[in-house]
Structure 1
């Protein structure tokens, strides 16, 4: 079937040699460049674009990114100038895509169908995804299958190390989040080329930060020496660690897990007898009541978002592990607890919350995922203005001034403006999280004596924040 301008290609991308097969079915425009196809495959498979790549056509021609071959040693055809329809022109034609020349991830790309373009489906689109791709740097297919064996056996001597290497999360080889894949495709330009779609203007300062400082803050908020002093004084931090509600909850959880651990419910949650002391440790009577009417209604950790969040962060950070229905402490955190080294525990918790935890879990609005990307800028705003009580709206307005594109990802609503929706998401996803981490304190404008409601509170930074985030050169 000959191609026409505006055709849609249905591609099947399979990780070569995977058993059972790991594959994706994609819809892309026939005029998609090979460079964009590289980005699409990265997002669809779940890779991180951390290594070199190349394409090879069925007639042995290699295509690649000139920036990855500055000396011309690979003799690539420039992938940025080659449309897919120039390489695949008939159904059943194939293309080879290789990623990470060390681990050698080869992908078999086949043109299954050539469809007429209709404009009904957003492109590119992943319409089917089967099995999760291997973690980066796992050592090729051989290393991947060894990794799966280790992860599936909690009694394996390398299980804890493998779990910690993965970041403490559970790896389910069968799970694929198709919605997240398509969301990533929609934002792939910014993911792979921030300069092409900048979050901020390179020619202007923003609240006193240069472009380079902003870039460092966005990419590494907990280690950005151009913005915050990297030399932490533990004497200024440790006395205030318990001001963080989640830290108090974690300490109570660690105490409950000491020894033989805790048997989880069939759903994998903490039982009520454990949840109650964790709620009490968190403090503030309202802690138990974001969505329930007091302690009597608590059935499990999911009834108390603060406790549920603390338990999830502990798992992602590698503080806990599950074994035969029991929740146990890992040896690393046991050593820290024994030595009363609470600062590294908090630092790991903060790193996990900023970089590994998905903020949209807090309100289930995945379309606002860019809030987490720009969230570190609020740390700078708090360092600059947070010494006194200010309305939460002050910071939200400053965020929207710095990043007006946030409103562009908001779905239309007949009831709320894009600015109102983003403000609510910033309040819940970012400022509530910062409050639970002990970085800010909130005060109800109405002096009602309860935890301030979203959007109706004043905030200021805490002593813990001041110990962690001091402007460089201050």
Structure 2
């Protein structure tokens, strides 16, 4: 994976906040936004913009006037920007960052070095942050105890933890996906019914025995529900292609960055299923294995309001039904593992869904249940 080294400096903040990170050269601006958030220590709770040579990039909003509406960051490769540009986060507090390309990166993504803690979210911008630091430096100040309890643990920069977060946010190809793609490398002739042959089914069962609850060899891909789902996923996201009855991996399946990008699109960004999957995976990553019923009791309240169908809000039972229906997809992508009655975070729970990575960190620090 070819990487590029970036130096990010937060403007007008003392003590200085600087991060030097290596990111994949092929990222889009939307993906870079996620990496900057975890590298700096923000929680992606507010709007943001990139600005370069007088052009604004961000998430398009139809309510903005045409001359203010930014270009869609999801469609802009990072390499189209100049070697120095701006990143603005939280239009209320107005945190400004200078991003500079300093050269080629190392063998993989990560946080190379840094200094200074990220200001707490919603602290009021630079002036109020200065006031916060003054109070925390004076134990005799009347606001000291309250502010120390609120912000004390946040004002720490941990390079090793940040390095892990950057790498997790870049993502990894789930092992289950790699297993199937490797089996398809030379092309596999499907059955007359269009399903994977028994040899492939049993090869996958050997690597993923928990995908078949019965203690006997599987015969068809439907015996392994996550495999049947993964077959569908790989074809729909363009990582596998069927031609003349033979299923084979596509050219882009050899590019890890593109594989992760396409798998992430399986859940519509910002959509209901992405939110449900992300919340469930984050809860499991933070809490450990849970019975299905216990997981649902924690996840449903966190979904909040606003999800509906035909003009009415979804019920708790509909949230539960949706999550149960999605379980095979989550297992197929190594986001979920363990026994069928006891759910636990899969080995790639924190490396495929960026929001799950951030939520798991927040939940581990202060669980909302």
Q: Could you say which structure has the higher strand fraction? A: 2
TM superposition score normalised by structure 1: 0.40
Q: TM-score, normalised by structure 2?
A: 0.49
Structure label with greater radius of gyration: 1
